[in-house]
Chain A
Amino acid sequence: MFADFDKKELTGLAFLLFLGISTPYLFSGYRIQMAELFLFMVYASTWNIQGGKMGYNTFGNIVFFGVGMYVCASTQIAVAFPLGEWTAAGGYKTFVHTPQQYFLGIPLGILLAGIVPAIIALIIGSALLVLRGHYFAIGTLGLGIASGEFATSLEIIGGGQGMTVPFWPKVAGLPHTFLGGGVNFFFTLSFLLFLAVFFFLRWLYKTRFGLILTAIRDNEDKAESMGIPTMHYKVTGWVFSAFFMGIAGGIFGNINGYIEPTEVAFAGATVGVFMVLMTILGGKGTLWGPIIGAFIFQLFKEFFWTYFLGWQLVALGALIIGIIIFFPEGIMGMLRQKYPALFGEVVDEEARLAQVTINTDD
């Protein structure tokens, strides 16, 4: 399984495995932040399928995140209680899940949280992916906000008030922290989801499918005229993203404990932009770029939230502008330019110096 990994990738993976396994023991005060970090890596990596590999800059992946979050929480509740009564009563204070109900709800909820967004991606994908370039970007931005507004007006999931997620159950005879408690449980789920996404994408990018995605980015019309049904591949790529984003949403809803339409679930101005930013910061179109970007971004974000409280979003907006202006190629792009040998590229120094660049684009 690890045969085709080189030294750099193995080091990186070993570091992430170390973080994933040791966090509950060594840094237990930071479990929520670390869970968020792994989820950030998932958001960025799945956004990278569209924005990086395929060249379709979407602001709409947040829709799948939000839908997944609501579907997962609703399923968890609905296996035991009527959903409408739960949201009307304000949640776990009135209704308490037994452990059996709770652990039946979790796998069911997470499975549906993947499948429902994937189906939505299949339906809207075939309509929206005909848009190109910035029309796609703005169209998906509109979609994200429209779904937030729609969720606000749906009474059964709490409307603008939001809803709570079932509480970690109490088992008679066991301490409250059996299985490490809720935080550890969902931290581990986030970590496992990240690993699944990582290995899946690593495999996917090496197949013919990955090559076709790159071909679509470089020249879609040419790819189509070579006989590739590009639409089919674009939609399939979006379905993959939606599946993983939905599951990530389901897990995040449980970590957060409370779901609200515009700030938590369909948070286009925060999570929806974070995933774009992390990918660009790390390097679009590479496997490791989003992971590195997410790591650095989470450090920044925690720093802002700790030291600029109240001004954190101002600082984040400034960070967006800074990254876009000064690092449009990201960290991977910068490394690649400085140390091409690391990426297995050979540069003929003489030929490079002899090259005359003509600036045709005024």
Chain B
Amino acid sequence: MILLQAPFLNLQALLDGLMVGAIFAFVAYGMALVWGVMNIINIVQGEFVILGGYITFTFYKMGLSPFIGIPFSFLLLFCLGFLIYRTIIFRVVSRDMFISILATFGISIVVQQLMNIGFGSQVETANSGLGTSFLFDGNITLSHIKIFSFIVCLLGASAVIYFMKTSKLGRAIRATAQNARAARILGVDTEKVYCYTYAINAAICGLAGSLVAMTYTLHPYIGLPYTVRSFMIVIVAGLGNFPAVLASGLGLGTIEEFSAYTLGQEYRIGFVFLMLVLILVYRSRKLAKKREYLK
């Protein structure tokens, strides 16, 4: 085993995993928000991330610092989420969940293909210009942009939680998540709440995407793995419980990095999807055991 021969690789994989896990957790928090409030599994989540990344990348390509792109990714994706809700999602909110899965799958194909036409299908990355630290005589490399994105994710998540706890809209969103009908009776405009929830989720993805663009790589077709990772994190952590989302996000990131180091990078995506299937089956086995106990 390569990990036993090179003990520093363990630390390296752990660090990388935590850094990437924070981004996963942030995106997953957005998915949990939409899932909890609107009962929709947003398949287009990953495409929002990649699109946010491409917006930041555009600034980089224009010769500007990619950091300028971060607020633009956030705001433009907010507008896009708003638009998509007003045109498509509001029609599927109260329907069967499979309908919304398919509808968002359709949107994700459209977004993916438009990105492919607009930005080309080569692998891109926006160089942040920040340096890299070498720890332990160069055995561990730690690029500063990863630390930056880790901190931004934590700050962003705290900001969203603070917003949910204190603002009027945040309270309305939480009320709708608990009981949409009662909220409506008490005068909450649930339609507006849904709309802003979806837009906030898209903005979260946009912000995460701009970090992905600087830290990792962009490609029009790698959106779906991000969707699947957030889905996994949410089903492990449960809805609306941010510390659990963060913990399972960091955990998933670490497991993924370790698997990438031991199995090889080319198996990374396959491993993610395989893990999804395993988690789902394990979860239902556990539930089935509880069911037998009830018998």
Could you tell me which A residues sit within 8 Å of B by CB distance?
57, 127-128, 130-135, 137-139, 141-143, 145-146, 149-150, 152-153, 269, 273, 276-277, 280, 310-311, 313-314, 316-321, 324-325, 328, 361-362
Kindly list 5 other residue pairs between chains A and B, CB separation below 8 angstroms, not including A324-B92, A324-B103. Answer: A57-B98, A130-B284, A135-B280, A142-B276, A324-B106
Could you tell me which B residues sit within 8 Å of A by CB distance?
41, 88, 91-92, 94-99, 101-103, 105-110, 112-114, 117, 180-181, 184, 224, 228, 231, 235, 266-267, 269-270, 273-274, 276-277, 280-281, 283-285, 288
B276→A139 contact, CB < 8 A: yes
- Residues of B near A277 (CB, < 8 A) are 102
Q: Which of A135, A273, A310, A318 is in CB contact (< 8 Å) with B284?
A: A135
A325→B92 contact, CB < 8 A: yes
Max chain A C-beta neighbours (<10 A), residue from B106, B281, B288: B106
Shortest distance from the beta carbon of A259 to any chain B beta carbon, whole Å:
18
B98→A134 contact, CB < 8 A: yes
B277→A321 contact, CB < 8 A: no
Q: Which of B105, B180, B277 is in CB contact (< 8 Å) with A273?
A: B105
A146→B277 contact, CB < 8 A: yes
Name A359's closest neighbour in chain B (CB-CB): B94
Given contacts A149-B270, A153-B267, contact A318 B106 (CB under 8 A): yes
The complex places the Cα of A135 from the Cα of B231 at a distance, in Å, of: 10
Majority SS at the chain B contact face? helix
- Residues of A near B110 (CB, < 8 A) are 314, 317-318, 321
- Residues of B near A314 (CB, < 8 A) are 109-110, 113-114, 117
The complex places the Cα of A311 from the Cα of B110 at a distance, in Å, of: 9
Shortest distance from the beta carbon of A328 to any chain B beta carbon, whole Å:
6
A362→B94 contact, CB < 8 A: yes
Max chain B C-beta neighbours (<10 A), residue from A127, A142, A320, A321: A142
Given contacts A316-B109, A324-B106, contact A134 B285 (CB under 8 A): no
Shortest distance from the beta carbon of A290 to any chain B beta carbon, whole Å:
16
The complex places the Cα of A133 from the Cα of B98 at a distance, in Å, of: 8
B284→A325 contact, CB < 8 A: no
- Residues of B near A150 (CB, < 8 A) are 270
B281→A130 contact, CB < 8 A: yes
A276→B267 contact, CB < 8 A: no
B277→A142 contact, CB < 8 A: yes
A362→B184 contact, CB < 8 A: yes
B103→A325 contact, CB < 8 A: yes
- Residues of A near B88 (CB, < 8 A) are 321, 325
- Residues of A near B269 (CB, < 8 A) are 145, 149
- Residues of B near A319 (CB, < 8 A) are 106
- Residues of B near A127 (CB, < 8 A) are 281
A138→B41 contact, CB < 8 A: yes
> Can you show 16 pairs from A to B with CB atoms below 8 A apart?
A130-B285, A130-B288, A134-B101, A135-B283, A138-B231, A146-B270, A149-B270, A152-B270, A273-B102, A273-B105, A311-B113, A313-B109, A314-B117, A317-B113, A325-B103, A328-B96
Q: Which of A133, A143, A273, A310 is in CB contact (< 8 Å) with B273?
A: A143
B288→A320 contact, CB < 8 A: no
- Residues of B near A141 (CB, < 8 A) are 228
The complex places the Cα of A236 from the Cα of B88 at a distance, in Å, of: 37
Name A139's closest neighbour in chain B (CB-CB): B280
The complex places the Cα of A277 from the Cα of B101 at a distance, in Å, of: 12
Name A146's closest neighbour in chain B (CB-CB): B273
Name B183's closest neighbour in chain A (CB-CB): A362
The complex places the Cα of A139 from the Cα of B224 at a distance, in Å, of: 13
The complex places the Cα of A328 from the Cα of B91 at a distance, in Å, of: 11
Shortest distance from the beta carbon of A21 to any chain B beta carbon, whole Å:
36
B92→A310 contact, CB < 8 A: no
Q: Which of B95, B235, B283 is in CB contact (< 8 Å) with A328?
A: B95
B103→A310 contact, CB < 8 A: no
The complex places the Cα of A325 from the Cα of B88 at a distance, in Å, of: 8
- Residues of B near A318 (CB, < 8 A) are 106, 110
- Residues of A near B96 (CB, < 8 A) are 328
Name A55's closest neighbour in chain B (CB-CB): B98
B101→A139 contact, CB < 8 A: no
B41→A321 contact, CB < 8 A: no
- Residues of A near B274 (CB, < 8 A) are 142, 146
Shortest distance from the beta carbon of A360 to any chain B beta carbon, whole Å:
10
The complex places the Cα of A269 from the Cα of B114 at a distance, in Å, of: 15
Max chain A C-beta neighbours (<10 A), residue from B95, B114, B281: B281
B113→A313 contact, CB < 8 A: yes
The complex places the Cα of A138 from the Cα of B104 at a distance, in Å, of: 13
Name B107's closest neighbour in chain A (CB-CB): A321
- Residues of B near A131 (CB, < 8 A) are 280-281, 284
Name B111's closest neighbour in chain A (CB-CB): A317
Q: Which of B103, B231, B284, B288 is in CB contact (< 8 Å) with A321?
A: B103
The complex places the Cα of A146 from the Cα of B279 at a distance, in Å, of: 14
- Residues of B near A139 (CB, < 8 A) are 276-277, 280-281
Given contacts A149-B267, A313-B113, contact A133 B92 (CB under 8 A): no
The complex places the Cα of A277 from the Cα of B106 at a distance, in Å, of: 10
- Residues of A near B276 (CB, < 8 A) are 138-139, 142, 146
- Residues of A near B112 (CB, < 8 A) are 269, 313
Shortest distance from the beta carbon of B144 to any chain A beta carbon, whole Å:
32
Shortest distance from the beta carbon of B162 to any chain A beta carbon, whole Å:
30
Shortest distance from the beta carbon of A4 to any chain B beta carbon, whole Å:
33
Shortest distance from the beta carbon of B173 to any chain A beta carbon, whole Å:
17
Given contacts A134-B41, A149-B270, A362-B94, contact A324 B277 (CB under 8 A): no
Given contacts A314-B113, A324-B102, contact A362 B277 (CB under 8 A): no
